[in-house]
Every structure is written in C-alpha cells, then in structure tokens.
Amino acid sequence: MEEEENLIAALQHIANSLGAKRNLTEDARKKLADLGIQLASITRANTEDNCVGHQEDGVSEYEEQLNALQAKIMSWDGNPSLLWDFGAEEAYGYLRSVDEARKLAEKLESLCPEKDGREADLLRRVHDVLQTAMTRLEDEFMHLLVNNRLPFEPEHMSFRSTEEDTVDGSSIISFGEESVDDGAHRDSMSRSSEDYVVELVHPDVIPDLKCIANLMFDSNYGRECSQAFINVRKDALDDCLFTLEVEQLSIEDVQRMEWSSLNSKMRRWVRAFKIFVRIYLASEKWLADQIFSETGSAGSVCFAESSKTSLLQLLNFGEAVSIGPKKPERLIRVLDMYEVLTDLIPEIDSLYFDDAGLCLRTECRHVLASLGTCAKSTFLEFENAVASNASANAFPGGGVHPITKYVMNYMRALMDYSRILSGLLKDEEREDPVTYSPDTSPSSEDDVIRGSPYSSSMASHFQSFISTLESNLESRSKMYKDEALKHLFLMNNLHYIAEKVKKSSELRTVLGDNWIRKCNGKFQKHARSYERATWSSILYLIRDEGILDPGSNSVSRTLLKERLHSFYLAFEEVYKNQTGWSVPDRQLRDDLIITTSLMVIQGYRTFVGRHASNISDKHIKYSADDLENYLQDLFEKTPKSLHGSHRK
C-alpha cells in the first residue's frame, strides 16, 4: 500500500511539473490536467472503501478532507488577483481542489438522504465552498475570455465590396436633363463556400476555458458558465459590427434616411453581412464548440444566444429596407441584399442547425421573403415610373435622352441578377398585357426563350419596358416644332436602344435577334424621314421644271438666279440649325452625312452643270466641294452660320 501511494505521489508530482510548462500542446495539457484529477481520486479510493460500515469514522474523514479543501479554496476568496497570474500549476491545483469538493458533495449526497445530522451539515458546508469556488471560476472564465480576446480586422479579409453601379445614384423621377453614365456594371461578389475561421481568443487559453467550463457544468453551474460566455461574447459581437460600420437603426431611422445615405448603408450591409456570417460567426461557432465540446448542446445554445442580437440587428435593417418605398434606384441594392442573404442561408443553417437556432433560421427566411417581395414590386413599378416620367420642354439638340440611357443601363445592370429575377418573376402574370403594333411587337417566345436561362415572364417584362420607353420617347418627340428634328431625336434614341441590346449578350438573349432587326428597321425609317423632311424641299428648289421663259423654250436666267439664291438661303438655314443638333454615335453620324452628301451634292452638281452656260460665276455662291465640306459640320452640337461667306 505504501509503495502504491509513493508511486501515485510521484506521478502526480510529474504531472504538476509538466502542466506548468507553457510550450506543451493543448491536448497534452488537457490530458495531464485530467490525469492529475484522476490520481487525486485514486489516493482516496481505499480509504473511502474502508469507510463502508464505519460511517462515523467516514464522516470524520470527510470532515477532515473538507477542511483541507475549504482552506485551499477559501484562501482565494476576496483575492482580486487571477489564478492564472500565478501560473498554470497554481490554477490547475485550485481546479483539482474544486473538483475534489464536487466529488465529496456527490459522496455526501449519497450518504445522507435526510437533511439533518452530521453528514447534512458537512454537505451544506461543501455546497457553500463550491458556491464560493464557482463564483471565483465564473470571474476567472470571464477574465480569460476578455483579456485574451484577439482583434478582428476585416480589412485584411479577402472579400471585395460592391462598388458604384450605373443606376444607384439618381431617381428616375428627377431626371431633369442630366446624363447617366454608360458602361458601368456590378462588381462580382466573392462567393466562397468554405468557412474561414479566425482565432477570436488566444489559442493558449482554450484548454483553460474548457477545463473551467467542464468543472462548472459537472458542478451543476452550467447555466452560470453559459451566461458568462454569452455576456462576454455578445460584447465582442457588438464590437465586430461596429468595426464593420454597421449602425443600430430603427425602422423609422431607415424610412427617414436620404437616398444617398441609405445607398451607402445598403452597400456596407452587403459587405458586412458576408464577413459577419462567413468569417465572424463561423469563428464564433468554432470557439463555442471548442470550449463546450464536452457539455452536450451547451456550445450551440451559447453560440445562438450570444450571436442572436447582432444577427437580428443585421436582419432588422433588411426588413426595414424591404418595407420602404419601391423606388427604381433602390432595386439594384435590394437585389444585392437579396442575393447575399440567399447565398448565405445554407451557411446560416449549418451554423444554427439545432433547436437553439430555429428562431434565427426562421427570421432569415422571413427577411429573405420580404426582400424578394420588395425587389419584385420595385421591378414591376419601374415600368410605371418610365411611363409617367415627362417633361414640359423638348430635349435640346435631339440627342439621346437621359431617360433612354437610364432605362437601358438599368436593364443591362439588371442582367447581372438574371438568375434572381427569373426566379422572382417565374410565376408573375401581367394583369394588363401590353398591346403591340405590328412593327413594335416583340419576338416570339420561342425566339426569345428557346435555350435561354431566362423566364418568359422576365422576357415579357423587358420587352414591355422598352415598349413603354418608346412610347415615352414618341411623346417627347411631339414637342419639337421642326419635323426633321423630331425624326432625328427618335432615330438617335432607337439606335441607342438597339446598340445597347446588341452589345449585351444577356439582353440580346432575352429580346432576341428578331427584335433587334425590327428596332434597326425603325431607327432607319426615322433616318429616311429626317432626310426627306430636311432636304426634299431644298432639292425641289433646284429642279429643272418651271425655269423656262413663258412662251419660249429658253431657260430664264432670272429664274435660275432666284432658284440658286433660294437654295443657298435654305442650305444656310439648315446649316445654322443642324450644326447645333446632335448625333452622338460617330458611326451613325458619318453614315447620315454620307447619305445626305450623296443626295444633296449630286443634285447640286447636276443642276449647276446642266445650266452652267446660263449662270454667271458671280451667282455661284458655293461650289459643290464647299457644300460637301460644310455638310461635315452638321450634328456637332455647335451652331454655326454661313452668312457673308460669298465666293470671290
């Protein structure tokens, strides 16, 4: 017996010495700590067995053991220092004493079913000692969590934020005559399916925290331990949201917010939500699981409770956005929020997989549904906004109107969300189908949809949007008093629409090549109408009919002179006006000038050449080359005048 006791004492000394070394692995330290507790139990095994049948002697022994444990544990009562400040050996010695007191309490509970007698007094004493120890351990647990917290630095994470988009700045309702930039697009969002776990607490203290948690749960103080963890980590999660620049806003705060400010917060929310779920919550879950790995479902419960407030804060912002006004400029941001929440729900489900996280899983789906409804309503409201947008004045120069740029860039930006929109609009039936004229009817559904990832409803809405835009442009064209400028305006805008569709493979797939051919035909028709409205009456002035002297077959020099003079005046008037008109597309402008030059210069050369013998040089104000050069100045949006430019 003496040899066994000496062996056990030696092993315990070795375990204590090794436990004090900080360079041991976490697993080794845990095993050594457990070994120390087991060895302490072995030293009392024979004594406890011999106590059976000799209860009075046993009680005396238990009292002696309790006195020793009480002296060890109570020596720290009121001491403001931390156990771990005195080294691991001192800390784990204290834990072993507490564990021995716990086991003594269990033994006494089995010996004294009645609540009186000497055993009951000892039991009350040991419970008092345990309560004191648990208070100390709860404080130690919290201090270890707080003092060993590691900084969270999202700026070092490999996630890209969404940058400025084409249509997130100005409302379609307040266009004025401002231009909308072309070519902007939504940056792709990083979508990694792997959890990226970072250390939120120094790894050296994880075994210490785990030992405290195990001991407190074994001593029936699991609720206190869990609450301590929840309180500390809730503060850490709040700090994380602060670092991610997420404010706590009420629904009223969001509703009152100016769009520029709300737009910024929605963009920040998208980035913050990805980082918070994929990195921070994943790391938080890992931390809780490590500390409470041997306490059943405590890890899941603690994680859910500690993170609930912060996650709900993020979700509440999404809910506030979803019930706000359905303005077109918000749609891209709402779709961003809907998309990131859709992508993250599987990860949220895996983090909150059990009953403890049921309410959070449910709330995520509720907010997702609200954002989806908001996105769909805003999308459908977009057409009404286009239809109702009007102006009291004609657009100067007849160029591409801002509403055309806005709508087409808006539609092109929406193609980045085609998967989402197709899903949201899949079962959407139009209550008032658009009636198309023969030359504006969209392509057949087979032409648009066959082999396409887009729903027929989505294609139908996009076709309807453009039809509504064309109607809006037609109404605006009627504000021009000049018939030629009216056709130039429609030509410019329809050409812009056709080019935007051709240059976007997604829009081209949705609308179809047949639709593009029809749109090309429409703007070419307006180009021909412009030419007729501008030049037909001018070329009529240099016709051969009606230039003979009355009663003879000879050409009237007076009539020739008048015809040329009228032609020059009309040409100069066109030049003065149409140099101030606009054809923004360079290729379209060049084509239009070439066609005009062929028609005008050929007619002028023919007329002057045929009647050269009857026309004095002093009456030839411009040569054909002069006119051809002057035609190159048209549509430069800088009005010019030829008055006084007579040939010498």
Beta bridge partners of 149: 201
In this structure, are residues 225 and 138 in contact, taking their beta carbons and an 8 Å threshold?
Answer: yes
3-state helix, strand, coil in the chain (%, to 5): 70, 0, 30
The tokens describing 273, both together, are 């939500």
CA torsion 393-395-398-400 (nearest 10°) is -150
Residue 185 has pLDDT above 90, yes or no: no
The tokens describing 264, both together, are 């910024």
Q: Which domains does the chain have, with CATH numbers?
A: 203-382 (1.20.1280.170), 402-427+454-633 (1.20.1280.170)
Lowest mean pLDDT among 23-37, 478-492, 554-568: 23-37
Q: What is the DSSP string of 255-291?
A: HH--HHHHHHHHHHHHHHHHHIIIIIIHHHHHHHHHH
Q: What is the DSSP string of 75-94?
A: TTTT--S-GGGG-HHHHHHH
Q: How far apart are CA 571 and CA 534, in angstroms?
A: 10
- What one-character DSSP code corresponds to residue 399? -
Residue 449 has pLDDT above 80, yes or no: no
Please tell me the pTM assigned to this model: 0.75
- What one-character DSSP code corresponds to residue 482? S
Nearest to 279 by CA among 378, 153, 384: 153
CA torsion 219-225-227-230 (nearest 10°) is -150
Residue 73 has pLDDT above 90, yes or no: no
In this structure, are residues 505 and 598 in contact, taking their beta carbons and an 8 Å threshold?
Answer: no
Q: How far apart are CA 214 and CA 199, in angstroms?
A: 21
Dihedral pair phi/psi, residue 301, rounded to 5°: -65, -45
Residue 564 has pLDDT above 70, yes or no: yes
Q: What average pLDDT is seen over the chain?
A: 82
Of the chain, the end-to-end C-alpha distance in Å amounts to 136
Tell the residue number behind the tokens 């024979």, with chain if given.
46
In this structure, are residues 469 and 386 in contact, taking their beta carbons and an 8 Å threshold?
Answer: yes
Lowest mean pLDDT among 23-32, 409-418, 524-533, 535-544: 23-32
In this structure, are residues 64 and 47 in contact, taking their beta carbons and an 8 Å threshold?
Answer: no
Q: How far apart are CA 284 and CA 236, in angstroms?
A: 10
The tokens describing 379, both together, are 């999308």
Q: What local confidence, expressed as pLDDT, does residue 41 receive?
A: 54
Q: How confident is the model at residue 26 (pLDDT cuts 50, 70, 90)?
A: low
Lowest mean pLDDT among 175-179, 564-568, 599-603: 175-179
- What one-character DSSP code corresponds to residue 188? P
Q: What local confidence, expressed as pLDDT, does residue 432 receive?
A: 45
The tokens describing 352, both together, are 């909150």
Question: What integer is the mean pLDDT of 421-447?
Answer: 54
Of residues 83 and 24, more confidence is placed in 83
Dihedral sign for Cα atoms in the order 127, 130, 135, 141: negative
Quick one: what percent of the chain has pLDDT higher than 90? Answer: 56
The CA-atom distances, in angstroms, between 477 and each of 248, 271, 424, 473, 495 are 49, 44, 35, 6, 15
- What one-character DSSP code corresponds to residue 3? H
Question: How many residues are present in the chain?
Answer: 648
Q: How many CB atoms lie within 10 A of CB 356?
A: 18
Residue type at 82?
A: L
The tokens describing 397, both together, are 């120069």
Of residues 26 and 278, more confidence is placed in 278
- Is residue 452 exposed (0-12), middle (13-18) or buried (19+ Cβ within 10 Å)? middle
Question: What integer is the mean pLDDT of 106-119?
Answer: 73
